Amino acid sequence: MTSGSDIAIIGGGIGGYVAALRARQLGARVVLIERDRIGGVCLNWGCIPTKTLLRSAEVLQLARGAATYGVVVGDVALDWEKAQKRKEQVVRRLTGGVKTLLERAEVEVLAGTARFVSPSMLEVATDTGMLQVQAGQFVIATGSRPASLPIPGLSGEGVLSSDDVVELDHLPGSVVIIGAGPIGVEFATLFQACGVQVTLVEILPRVLPMLDDDLGSQVERGLKKMKIDLHTASRVIALEEQGDLQTVSVETPSGQTSIQVERVLLAVGRRPNVEDIGLEAAGVRAEKEGIQVDEHMRTSAQHIFAVGDVTGGPLLAHVALQEGVVAAETALGLERVMRYDAVPSCVFSWPEVATVGLSEEQAAKQGYDLRVGRFPFRANGKALAHGDYDGLVKVVADAEYGQVLGVHIVGPHASDLIQEATMALTLEATLDEFEATIHPHPTLTEALAEAALAAQGRALHI
């Protein structure tokens, strides 16, 4: 059986399904092939389930600290089973919504595993047999999977991936998390808040090593405040399963130590799913980092595009979404370019982190003469009223023209606040324009204006 379409999309995650919806808006006939769950990692295992569980942990912490706000409550405990049921409800609602959008847009959805057999043909293995799908254009959106490490003993049953954690039926009493990037830090926050004793191991000198140094330092203090056992400049060298426990050998700056825990979580990033999709037959070049694309998301084959994690670019759902739009529009003859100079990135730790643009270190390496402004949330009225005032806003700007090069936030609602900064970078805003923008009072957004003023040496409230 052969299905003819204008565009065939492999993968129904956020990059793939958005590409399908945009292509249908432009009048194309679209077939979308998904081997597992519509919504991909983001909706089923990543962004949505983790943030839903983190919200349960946040409510637990608020209830425990209610007396600080003059609110009297009784004994407080977490019902993990109910938290998981709520997470499933949220996931079902969102994935169901995406399915409805695809149906309403009249996107043909096939459940199966697709593989190129030629530059213009896919074979799709379904439960009912093999189908052939022919199309004029293709979008590869096969996503990524949790990465692994060559550590002896890492394949035991007590070792979890980030995908496994959101489906746990009960919480372990203790866990070692390998990797203190965004995934590791978020799960460390979740577990510790829920009463699990967490040990976090990072091979580099500090947590969140890819972020501006001020942000990583603040988050590190927050993790220690939560009583997470933190080992930086350290690495796990072996695991040994002993009954229901895992013995984890860690090489630290002060020597080797062993830690016994119930579970180990490997959180060292993700790898693109480039295997077994017939890239050679399609004439698409790929490196181990992912499929190489141009600014239009076009691969080495002019009629084939790739979006999302499979390209090895920023592993962010909102990036995949935008790439899906760019690929669909380019495939259908519009002139659209993907920009990466103003991509926000968030880490939902406590305190929360969000960043966009260049860090101070990156800007200095690029030769900019800099103005840098910092404003602490403890000087912000709304943060004090909420009782959540750890952290700061940092603005990095070009000294000559005042153009804002980067904004870095660690503190309450950082992921919401970063959008103003993202818009500012997209529009090439200056410090003067931040200052001229009236910010409502009392709000956390005032901290952005004050940080911009601080970069000019005239903050009003510090």
CATH code for residues 159-268: 3.50.50.60
Kindly list the averaged pLDDT for each block of 10 residues, start to end, along the chain of length 462: 80 98 98 96 95 96 95 94 97 97 98 96 94 96 94 89 92 97 96 96 94 90 95 96 93 95 95 95 92 97 97 94 98 94 95 96 96 97 96 97 97 97 97 95 97 95 92
| pLDDT for the residue numbered 386 | 95
Calpha distance 153→158 (Å, rounded)? 10
| pLDDT for the residue numbered 3 | 60
HSE-up (13 A, CA, CB side) for residue 91: 25
Reply yes or no on whether 441 is catalytic: yes
Assign a CATH topology to domain 351-454: Enolase-like; domain 1 (3.30.390)
| pLDDT for the residue numbered 156 | 80
- Which ranges constitute the DSSP H helices of 26-79? 40-44, 47-64
| pLDDT for the residue numbered 392 | 97
Domains 159-268 and 351-454 share a fold: no
CATH code for residues 2-145+271-331: 3.50.50.60
Classify each residue of 336-358 as buried b or exposed e, where b means 16 or more C-beta atoms within 10 Å of its C-beta. bebeeebbbbbbbbbbbbbbbbb
Closest CA to 273 of 146, 416, 393, 442: 146
Among candidate residues 170, 413, 439, 441, the one labeled active-site is: 441
Residues 6+ apart with CB under 8 A from 422: 342, 343, 344, 356
Calpha distance 342→319 (Å, rounded)? 10
| pLDDT for the residue numbered 243 | 87
Q: Domain segments of the chain: what residues?
A: 2-145+271-331, 159-268, 351-454
| pLDDT for the residue numbered 2 | 52
Angle CA 74–78–82, to nearest 5 = 120
